[in-house]
A and B are shown apart, each in its own frame.
Chain A
Amino acid sequence: MKWSVTVDSRVVKVDPAALPDLQEVEPGVYSLVQDGQSYEIRVAHVNGAHQVDVAGRRLIVDATDPHRAAPRRRTEGPQTIAAAMPGKVIRVLVKEGDAVETGQGLVVVEAMKMQNEVQSPRAGRVIAVAATAGSTVAAGDVLVTIE
């Protein structure tokens, strides 16, 4: 049976049976001997996707549901701005109804003593503020929605 998954947002069709000598040698660590070449491949399930390390590079594989590919980045309509990294919300710089410019700071998130200002990807109006000062956020948590 063929599987369709996305690798770094490229659609790849694969047949797991095509790699007969793939062995899980440690939890999350796979060894493959193919055409006389030895590969070590590591996989970790993080935030709903797989981080796969192969030959010194990290690829993000979404194998959960090939039909639910990542939505294309939208430039019109409501857009959610999410935390890129886990951290703590230090300050919320906007409120519902505010007009924002491209690059304007929305929320300040701190992790490991580093503060990062999350900026608006485009001009628009803030329609929802999910972030609250002092709260902890995970990567991918929605902070602000603009339209």
Chain B
Amino acid sequence: MFRKVLIANRGEIAVRVIRALGEMGIASVAVYSDADRRSLHVRRADEAEHIGGAPSDDSYLRIDRILDAARKHGADAIHPGYGFLSENAEFAAACAERGVTFIGPSPEAIRALGSKTEARKLARRVGVPVVPGTEEALGGLDDAREVARRIGYPVMLKAAAGGGGKGMRRVDSEAELESALRDASSEAQRSFGSDEIYLEKLLVNPRHIEIQLIGDLHGNTIHLGERECSLQRRHQKLLEECPSPLVAEHPQLRHEMGEAAVKLARAAGYSNAGTAEFLVDGDGRFYFLEMNTRLQVEHPVTEWVTGLDLVHMQLRIAAGERLGIRQRDVKWHGAAMECRVCAEDPEHGFFPSPGHIVHLAEPSGPGVRVDSGVYSGWDIPLEYDPLLAKLTVHGPDREAAIARARRAVDEYAITGVTTNLGFFRDLLRDEEFISGRLHTGFIDEFMARRPRHEPNSHYDVLAAVVAAMHTRDTEPERTDQLRGSRWVSEGRRRMLR
């Protein structure tokens, strides 16, 4: 097993990996940009190394500096988390060249499955259904026009190297195609360094369901069931759950999709953790969408229902150990769901809302797990993803999980910045959501029908009194005291030395 592992990431996922390392008696090395010196992952790690400026292409995307940090600290493996370099085959190859283990699949498997066009080709070859569309990146506008005419509008443009909704555009008619292609290409170039775009048929209001895969270096590959990820805004997930309400109705779906995902992984020589994403129509027909060749944000959902620890498994597999369990050993218990708590404003198109966290109170108690990357008093940087923390809950069934999620969201308090907690509070009480009739257009529909909170004069009075008290009693004195105190200024001077 490894002695020391560097985490080439930041935020909640870096903290998640540091926790697993601690549990396994492995030392952790954090890396950080100028914007992250005070971040939680730096505080929690055993060792830490500064790797550059706030923009990620000057820090978390710098392969050279990350590998230098690994050498300087004597790390024998690197966990890439998700995002940043996690699906970068060159990074995986560079790690191997430097004799550092990359905790993830081989560079060859990343190339075979990480590019959406390559993955689709492979899926067709092994008989896994895919959404109709282009095999190759588009040659240009004429090519796009011809393919779109053939398969019919609406179509979707997607970055070949992409993920996370970047470089994606929905096109409803030929008139929109040219500008959408231009926007998608430039966004893809900015986000992934490649402007290659492909095109596929847009299924209207499908479900988005994914299969968790895990494989070792000895040819053992199994799946850990599905996660329903239909609740998205801007093609980024907001709430995920297992079991999928659709799988609860059609239990054979888990097996069929799981088999298809395992077939793909085996064909690509895939090892470590990965996720095969599918679109599923109302009749339970599924189409392979793409493979994420890394740990997924929403992995805790699967950990709750299977009782397995995916990060522990990733580390053991990368160190050469065998999987140790067979497909028939995997059992799913109860229901779990995740709410992605983000610094963003649902009332303004979910636009990011960075700022200073004045106060933070996280929920706890039975069946509640919080994977957080933030703390009270921290300034959320402008440069990165707005995800602050993942709230996951577990209960004996979906109804119980929803009730638990409501209770946990009610306990959750983040002040100073705008978050989507209020959105979750309403969503978890929505009849359609409770019924489990989910699809990828669900959030847009929900936002149109979400409840309006009528003014309540009692709450107005409470708020007014508390604000007045807070102004009068605390802030002026506190700031004056701090400003005027020579002890404080002396303390600051010493700290800076």
Interface check B125, CB cutoff 8 A: no
- Taking CB atoms, residues of chain A closer than 8 Å to B355 are 46, 86, 139
Interface check A28, CB cutoff 8 A: yes
Q: Which of A12, A54, A85 contacts B353 (CB 8 A)?
A: A85
Contact A14 B416 (CB under 8 A): no
A-B contact pairs, 12 of them (CB 8 A): A10-B455, A12-B461, A26-B359, A27-B474, A50-B471, A54-B466, A56-B422, A61-B466, A85-B351, A112-B354, A113-B191, A114-B386
List residues 18-63 of chain A with CB under 8 A from any CB of chain B: 18-19, 22, 24, 26-30, 32, 39, 41-46, 50-59, 61, 63
Contact B459 A54 (CB under 8 A): yes
Q: Which of B348, B361, B425, B466 contacts A56 (CB 8 A)?
A: B425
Interface check B462, CB cutoff 8 A: yes
Interface check A16, CB cutoff 8 A: yes
**Residue interface mask B316-349, A partner, CB < 8 A = 1:** 0000000000000000000000000001110011
Q: How large is the interface on A (under 10, 10 to 19, 20 to 34, 35 or more residues)?
A: 35 or more
| Residues of A near any B CB (own CB < 8 A) | 3, 5, 7-8, 10, 12, 14, 16, 18-19, 22, 24, 26-30, 32, 39, 41-46, 50-59, 61, 63-64, 84-88, 111-114, 116, 136, 139
Interface of chain A, main secondary structure: strand
Contact B459 A55 (CB under 8 A): yes
Contact A59 B459 (CB under 8 A): yes
Using A44-B415, A57-B453 as known contacts, say yes or no to A29 and B468 having CB atoms under 8 A apart. Answer: no
Contact B465 A53 (CB under 8 A): no
List residues 180-213 of chain B with CB under 8 A from any CB of chain A: 191
Stretch from B258-266, B282-290, B377-385 contacting the other chain = B377-385
Contact A28 B358 (CB under 8 A): yes
Using A43-B470, A53-B415, A85-B351 as known contacts, say yes or no to A12 and B464 having CB atoms under 8 A apart. Answer: yes
List residues 437-472 of chain B with CB under 8 A from any CB of chain A: 453, 455-457, 459-472
Q: Which of A32, A50, A112 contacts B462 (CB 8 A)?
A: A32
Taken together as a complex, chains A and B put the C-alpha atoms of A115 and B76 apart, in Å, by: 39
- Taking CB atoms, residues of chain B closer than 8 Å to A112 are 343-344, 352, 354, 382-386
- Taking CB atoms, residues of chain B closer than 8 Å to A61 are 463-464, 466-467
Looking at B385, B410, B461, the one whose CB has the most chain A CB atoms below 10 A away is B461
Interface check B413, CB cutoff 8 A: yes
- Taking CB atoms, residues of chain B closer than 8 Å to A41 are 462-463, 466
Number of inter-chain CB pairs below 8 Å: 156
Contact B465 A87 (CB under 8 A): no
- Taking CB atoms, residues of chain A closer than 8 Å to B416 are 44, 46, 51
Contact B470 A45 (CB under 8 A): yes
- Taking CB atoms, residues of chain A closer than 8 Å to B383 are 112
Q: Which of A3, A53, A88 contacts B464 (CB 8 A)?
A: A3
Looking at A24, A53, A64, the one whose CB has the most chain B CB atoms below 10 A away is A53
Using A56-B410, A111-B351 as known contacts, say yes or no to A88 and B382 having CB atoms under 8 A apart. Answer: yes
**Closest B residue to A51 using CB positions:** B415
Taken together as a complex, chains A and B put the C-alpha atoms of A31 and B337 apart, in Å, by: 31
- Taking CB atoms, residues of chain B closer than 8 Å to A113 are 166, 191, 352, 384-385
Taken together as a complex, chains A and B put the C-alpha atoms of A22 and B473 apart, in Å, by: 12
**Closest B residue to A46 using CB positions:** B416
Give chain A nearest CB distance to B239 CB in angstroms: 18
**Residue interface mask B227-241, A partner, CB < 8 A = 1:** 000000010000000
Q: Which of A8, A16, A28, A56 contacts B359 (CB 8 A)?
A: A28
Using A41-B466, A64-B471, A112-B385 as known contacts, say yes or no to A29 and B455 having CB atoms under 8 A apart. Answer: no
For the complex of A and B, list the 5 residue pairs with the smallest distance between their C-beta atoms, beginning with the closest: A112-B352, A61-B467, A44-B358, A52-B463, A50-B467
